[in-house]
Amino acid sequence: MFNNQFKQIAIKAATMLLGVSLLAGCTPATTTTTTAGTTASGTIAATTTAGTTAAATTTAQTTAAATTAANDSLAKIKAAGVIVMGTSPDYPPNEFYVLDANNQKQIVGSDIMLGQAIADKIGVKLENKPTDFQGVLSNIQAAQVDMAIAGFSYTEGRKSAMQYSDGYATESEVGWQGILMSKTNAAKYTSLDQIKAAKLKFGAQSGSVQQEMAAKLTDPMSLKIMGTLDALALSLNAGDIDALVISTDNATNMLKTFSDLMILPKETFNLDPENLYAQNVVAFPLGDQHKSLIEVANEVIKAAKADGSMEKWRAEALELAKKAVE
């Protein structure tokens, strides 16, 4: 994180220096012209100076444009023949593992199908880079991946760290932000206020919006943040934590595996009633060089929504999720 911030600051500083040296390089020319202009007439001098400055700006802009073109993510991806995608495969039906015919773990899911469609559209291979969710966030910020699809919710807060595609799925249509608990514990609570007063040991996935929500439900000391949802589910089932904030769409497998767990009723315990976190988006690193790639992703999303692919992928992923492994 710090390294990355430092890197960004260093890049900014270097860019500024470059700008300064470009201008500095122009100074003698400007001075000469101005001097010549002044000799002829004051008015002309002003015009000439303005003209020269405009020309200098144009040169700077052209240089910037050339740099951007050379850096263009889409062009680089095409040249490499591969697009690298960050994802966190603990999240059925979006992304999860299944075993293939050779008992090898494969990453599958509706997000992976979308990633594949983006790769197909560009005409390159899709390479998944799996990490825990926090790792996906870090990799996007450090531009270690070209894009990330990991059930990312659109949030205003993350905009300073990444860019988004248009929304590709609306979570509120399939699930909501809720609380997972043992049935025995669940029977004790009839309101969110009671839950807050109990200062429960609340679990949530590191870096997720569920972490933000859990932080509002208990003391900082009682917050149990872990890397993967699999670890959190095991912990909850073992009684090491009391409750888990979760997107209900992604809890189906947990409920099946751990029959003593349940989701508290939506009427009373919906943690995002205004659906602030309901839009799922593809994430990209910051910077204009990713613009053309984002445009391609948006085209794919638009087409997949319109022609029913998105729904088809979800149905296929739900089917596959029955065979999910950790």
Q: Which residues bind ligand ARG (CB under 6 A)?
A: 88, 90-91, 94-95, 133, 150-153, 205, 208-209, 229, 247
CA distance 197 to 190: 12
Q: Which is nearer to ligand ARG, 73 or 208 (CB)?
A: 208
Of 76, 301, 306, the C-alpha closest to 166 is 301
Using the minimum distance from each CB to ligand ARG, give the nearer residue, 150 or 297: 150
Token duo for residue 308: 């029913």
Closest distance to ligand ARG from the beta carbon of 245 (Å): 10
> Residue 298 CB: number of other CB atoms within 10 A?
16
Closer to ligand ARG by CB, 72 or 230: give it. Answer: 230
Q: Residue 151 Cβ, how far from ligand ARG at the closest point, in Å?
A: 4
* Parallel/antiparallel/unpaired status of strands 96-99 and 163-170: unpaired
Q: Decide whether 165 or 247 has the Cβ nearer to ligand ARG.
A: 247
Closer of 74 and 214 to ligand ARG (Cβ): 214
Running DSSP on this structure, what letter comes out for residue 145? S
**Shortest CB 273 distance to ligand ARG, Å:** 16
Q: C-beta of 150: minimal distance to ligand ARG in Å?
A: 4
| Contact yes or no for 104/249 (Cβ under 8 A) | no
Q: How far is the CB of 213 from ligand ARG (least distance, A)?
A: 10
User: Which is nearer to ligand ARG, 23 or 318 (by Cβ)?
Assistant: 318
